[in-house]
Amino acid sequence: MADVFKDGLLRGQHALITGGGSGINRRIAERFAAQGAAVSIVGRSLERAEGAAEAIRAAGGQARGFSADVRDFDVLATSFGQAHANFGPVDICVAGAAGNFVAEAENISSNGFKTVVDIDLVGTWNTFRAALTLLRAGRANLLAISAVQSVMPMAAQAHVCAAKAGIDMLVRTLSIEWAARGVRCNAIAPGPVANTEGMRRLAPEGDTSWAHVLAGIPMARAADADEIADLALFLCSGAAPYIHGTVIAIDGGQTNLGSLPFGAALLESLRDR
């Protein structure tokens, strides 16, 4: 864990995180809990969500897992209500649930395209809208997990590019409408993150795929999940009170070079199947 932050930055706050049972969202949940927040982890798998919560409790934090599919607003709202009853008003809401697969546009079915848009974009909307009435009055942070595909067109990622671009514009729009409520709205757009399920899917050829990916990153490495969690913590802390309606890329400079190397890796993985 990075030691650049003062201890207890989120003490007394309640953080609600969708998709927090695994990957970078789980690391965000762990980091928030380590900084004193009570964390509600919401995922489709109650076993996975509660497993992440149990690990936080074992480390001395406060956490509980809840089950909901972000595509189902009513079920999601019910789980959020349970989280509110358990830990009180929501100070931080992270919309992190996401879906992805590698496919060229001509091979993506209507249902496949819709599934990714429903999980990523509609799921982000459902998360924020269901949390709205549960937010702490006059002070709350909404944080969406976008991706570099939101601004960087990429081969074999048409569905994800469309969904993530929608998330970015949603965050910007809500930042206008909900600012008077005392709600800050921002997004993080990670590039490749090492040791995550998402990158295992996007780099199926192992070292060969990674060579392509890293060729398109000026820093020549992937992010660590801790680096994503650090940015999330900064944005949701008292250190960022005037950052609002912003999408921050955390990609080692990847968006400055473009998507061709990453897209080449994805297309190559499809040809090798």
Give the catalytic positions in this structure.
146, 164
> What is the rounded CA–CA span in Å between residue 48 and residue 175?
32
Which amino acid type is present at position 158? Answer: A
> What is the rounded CA–CA span in Å between residue 107 and residue 84?
42
> What is the rounded CA–CA span in Å between residue 154 and residue 203?
14
| 139 within 8 A of 93, measured Cβ to Cβ | no
CA angle 159, 161, 162 (to 5 degrees): 65
> What is the rounded CA–CA span in Å between residue 207 and residue 215?
12
CA angle 7, 11, 12 (to 5 degrees): 175
CA angle 184, 188, 191 (to 5 degrees): 175
> What is the rounded CA–CA span in Å between residue 69 and residue 213?
31
**C-alpha distances in angstroms, 39 versus 18, 52, 64, 96?**
11, 10, 7, 14
Number of Cβ atoms within 10 Å of the Cβ of 32: 30
